[in-house]
Amino acid sequence: MDEIKKIVELLPSEGINRIAETLCDTFEKIVSPLTATTAGAGVFIQSKFEALNAHQQGLAAKCLYEAKEKVGAKTPNKRTVVKPQVVYEALDNTEQMTDESMRSLWSNLLAREFLEGGVHPEIAKLLAKMTSQDALLLLHIANKEPRNRYILVLKVLSSQFSIPDFERERTFNHIHLKKLELIVRTEQLWHLTTTGHEFMRCVRDFDQ
């Protein structure tokens, strides 16, 4: 897999069009082992990838490579069923992956799907509707839960942003997350909903 790493490292600095033909082969080498437990999934995902333009392919390949690195040497359960629609959602939102924080969340989510098959497609759709600031606010609210399980989650977010406005009772980010049914306000405090907890489980750092 050394050639995959070299290609991915070149993507930000080299002309993506110059290596476009290599990207499809690269993507296949990344995805095939990860979808081996699900017959046909790799073929569908590969077809979706090939429909992207070269720049989108570069971002997607980088995200998938990061997901593969997070899976590492772990062996997926033989009963794991990878849902192509979860990967489709990531491929449909490659523009988010120009943001390192969002790409990290996508790679966390994909790694969990490849290893466990435990990501509901609706969770991927929710991530597609979020920004880094939304995710940071969700983490901020989660870390105030009585039984906090997310204190070390999303390191890339907590290291890059400050949260001066998040102490306000209502920002647009609060309203947006409420509309997505990820948070709810009770007894003058914001709390994660069941959906919010499941979202955090799916996108949290994979070593937790």
Alpha-carbon torsion angle 86, 57, 207, 191, nearest 10:
-50
Rounded to an integer, what distance in angstroms lies between the CA atom of residue 94 and that of residue 117? 21
Measure the CA angle with vertex 155, ends 146 and 100; round to 5°.
Answer: 135
- The closest alpha carbon to 119, from 181, 202, 193, belongs to 202
Q: Which tokens in the block code for residue 78? A: 């033989």
Look up the pTM and report it. 0.78
pLDDT at 151 over 50: no
pLDDT in tens, 11-62: 554 554 554 555 555 556 666 655 554 556 667 777 888 788 888 888 888 8
What pLDDT is stored for residue 1 in this prediction?
A: 47
pLDDT at 129 over 90: yes
Which residue is listed with tokens 């437990």? Answer: 37
What pLDDT is stored for residue 45 in this prediction?
A: 79
Element (H, E) at 185: strand 183-186
pLDDT in tens, 74-115: 766 667 778 889 999 999 999 999 999 999 999 999 999 988
Classify 201 as helix, strand or coil.
helix
Classify 84 as helix, strand or coil.
helix
| Partners of 183 in the β-ladder | 192
Alpha carbons within 13 A on the beta-carbon side of 52: 28
Distances from the Cα of 92 to the Cα of 157, 158, 165, 181, 188, angstroms: 22, 26, 31, 22, 37
Q: Which tokens in the block code for residue 136? A: 């940071």
